[in-house]
Amino acid sequence: MRPTDAPPTLLRQAISHSAQYGAAALVSRVASLLIVPIYTRVLAPTDYGQLDLLIAFGSLVQLTVALEVSQGLARQYGDADATDRRLLASTALWFSVAAYLAFGLVAVALAAPLAELVIGEPESGLIVAAAIWISSGGIFNLVLNQLRWMLDPRGYAAVSVAATAVTIVVSVSLVAGTSLGVLGVLLGGAIGNVVGLAAGAFRARSVYGPAFSSDRLRQMLAFSLPLVPSAIAVFVTLYIDRISISRLMTTADVGIFGIGYRLATVTSLLMAAFQTAITPLVYQRYREVDAPAQLAGVFRAFAAVALGLSLALAMFANEAMRIFTTPPFYAGATVVPLLAPALILSGMYVLAPGLTIAKRTGAIAVVSGAGALVNTSLNLALIPLLGIRGAALATFLGAASTFAAYMVLSQRLYPVPHRWRPLGLAAAGSVVVFIATRSVEGIPVIEPLAELGGLAIAGLLFVRLGLLEPAPVIARIRAVGGGTAR
């Protein structure tokens, strides 16, 4: 076997797939940022607050209604043969369709009380539109994830981009061209979901058909059902900040916090691309002898990029707010330095795969539940003291403690040779750089120069500590260049 015929390493394969998944995520995040100036000129902070609360409601529904069957499908799919894969995928699809149809009917029937419960206003029309958006989105996500389990990053990217494009065009047209407001955003999202669902189902047509197996459903639910409490805990971890703000402050404060949250989600671009790529790869390659060492290298490289991106967002948050929003939303910049790393930490459990490899779903539920309890307690304690910054701090501390618990338990079941000292020094160095740049905050010319210099220093620190190893990358670029020259 020639060297070029050797199986790709986990890092190379993760980078390759992440780049393709990342392209789709990049389009989605950039589009989301580009429409912020439009929305903030049409929607008031209170409208944004309502939208964020409806998004939170939708997330809870999508985590529970279909009983996380997609996770059960993911775990069973890699070990199944071609015939069984078709049966598993079709069963998961039809079960999800039935579950979301039932939810939609209930939501429409109870629209008025749900509106009071979720957004505190008698807006039944918003709940009906949200039910359509949530149900179509839940089925679309199942089909889109199927392309992940099929290791089809190109198809995933194409379908995701198409759905995003339709959503943005329709939503902006309805919001800017009519007086529909939040209703226009929801309807645009629903139409985008339907288009994406059709495209995804066509791309994955080889595994879908009029087939259903109660036995296969039981197998998938045996894995996924214990994850439902964990999913609820994850929901609490992700959204208790906005729920608490809505109860302890105002809906307008939810909107201001939500704008800061949206800027911080730029870090989730990295997390989404990486998480989407690494999960199926780990499931398929964790038995390889050198997989733990490769995973440690992946972790170091990811940590360096995540720290750098979080640092950049924290330093340039004020400038971003002035560019993308209007004065009523500027205070959202204060939550970005804490939310950016918090969002990364909340998804880094994929780099602590021991519990999922060992199928310890009960332990996952306990960890997630404990994290949600910590997050909730901190929000209730800190918001009255620090306002929306207290919510951001609570979210960060909750995410950090949950990830730490995942990592400790994972190392017992699937040991990975991590280098904790340089990782800790890199994190501490990033904090020092951020604090140093705040000493010149507000000084024209000096502030941006200091921020750029801080990023350069952080990058050099990451290389010096061994988180980033440029030599192999440079050698590969030279090899590619030499091959091209020949």
Q: pLDDT (tens digit, 9 = 90+) per residue, 199-209?
A: 999 999 999 99
Q: What is the model's pLDDT at position 195?
A: 98
Separation of alpha carbons 429 and 420, rounded Å: 14
> How do the pLDDT tens digits run along the chain, 486 residues long?
444 444 556 556 666 666 666 677 677 777 777 788 888 888 889 998 999 999 999 999 999 999 999 989 988 887 888 899 999 999 999 999 999 999 999 999 999 999 999 998 888 899 999 999 999 999 999 999 999 889 888 899 899 999 999 999 999 999 988 889 999 999 999 999 999 999 999 999 999 999 999 999 999 999 898 888 878 887 888 889 999 999 899 989 999 999 999 899 888 777 766 666 677 777 777 888 888 888 888 889 889 989 999 999 999 998 899 888 889 999 999 999 999 999 999 888 888 888 888 888 788 888 988 988 999 999 999 999 999 999 999 999 999 999 999 999 999 998 999 999 999 999 999 999 999 998 888 788 888 889 899 999 999 999 999 887 655 544 443 443 444 443
Enumerate the H helices of 325-440 as residue ranges.
336-347, 354-357, 361-386, 388-413, 420-438
Separation of alpha carbons 456 and 239, rounded Å: 34
* pLDDT tens by residue, 321-373: 988 888 999 999 999 999 999 999 988 888 888 888 888 878 888 898 898 89
Q: What is the model's pLDDT at position 35?
A: 83
Nearby residues of 144 by Cβ (< 8 Å), 6 or more positions away: 156, 159, 160, 163, 196, 200
CB atoms within 10 A of CB 27: 18
Q: What is the model's pLDDT at position 15?
A: 62
Going by C-alpha positions, the residue among 222, 235, 216 that lies closest to residue 362 is 222
Going by C-alpha positions, the residue among 256, 299, 242 that lies closest to residue 275 is 299
Going by C-alpha positions, the residue among 138, 147, 128, 152 that lies closest to residue 194 is 138
Quick one: which H or E segment has residue 259? Answer: helix 251-264
Structure-token pair, residue 4: 């070029």
* Three-class DSSP category at 121: coil
Structure-token pair, residue 175: 């919001």
Separation of alpha carbons 267 and 59, rounded Å: 19
Q: What is the model's pLDDT at position 409?
A: 94
pTM of the model: 0.73
Q: What is the model's pLDDT at position 3?
A: 43
Separation of alpha carbons 125 and 186, rounded Å: 11
Going by C-alpha positions, the residue among 294, 271, 301 that lies closest to residue 463 is 301
Structure-token pair, residue 252: 């307008």
Which residue type is seen at 340?
A
Separation of alpha carbons 212 and 227, rounded Å: 22
Separation of alpha carbons 302 and 215, rounded Å: 39
Burial class (CB in 10 A: 0-12, 13-18, 19+), 358: middle
Instruction: Give the sign of the dihedral formed by CA 320, CA 326, CA 331, CA 335.
Output: negative
CB atoms within 10 A of CB 184: 22
Q: What is the model's pLDDT at position 302?
A: 87
CB atoms within 10 A of CB 432: 13
Q: What is the largest CA-CA distance in the chain?
A: 70
Angle (CA) 427-430-432 rounded to 5° is 115
Going by C-alpha positions, the residue among 63, 90, 73, 7 that lies closest to residue 283 is 73
Task: Kindly state the DSSP code that residue 325 receives in the 8-state scheme.
Answer: S
351 close to 378: Cβ distance less than 8 angstroms = no
Separation of alpha carbons 164 and 196, rounded Å: 8
332 close to 321: Cβ distance less than 8 angstroms = yes
Q: What is the model's pLDDT at position 58?
A: 95
Going by C-alpha positions, the residue among 184, 225, 196, 242 that lies closest to residue 394 is 242
Structure-token pair, residue 108: 């429409």
255 close to 49: Cβ distance less than 8 angstroms = yes
Q: What is the model's pLDDT at position 16?
A: 66
Q: What is the model's pLDDT at position 9?
A: 60
Q: What is the model's pLDDT at position 235?
A: 84
Domain locations in the chain as residue ranges:
69-224
Q: What is the model's pLDDT at position 334?
A: 94
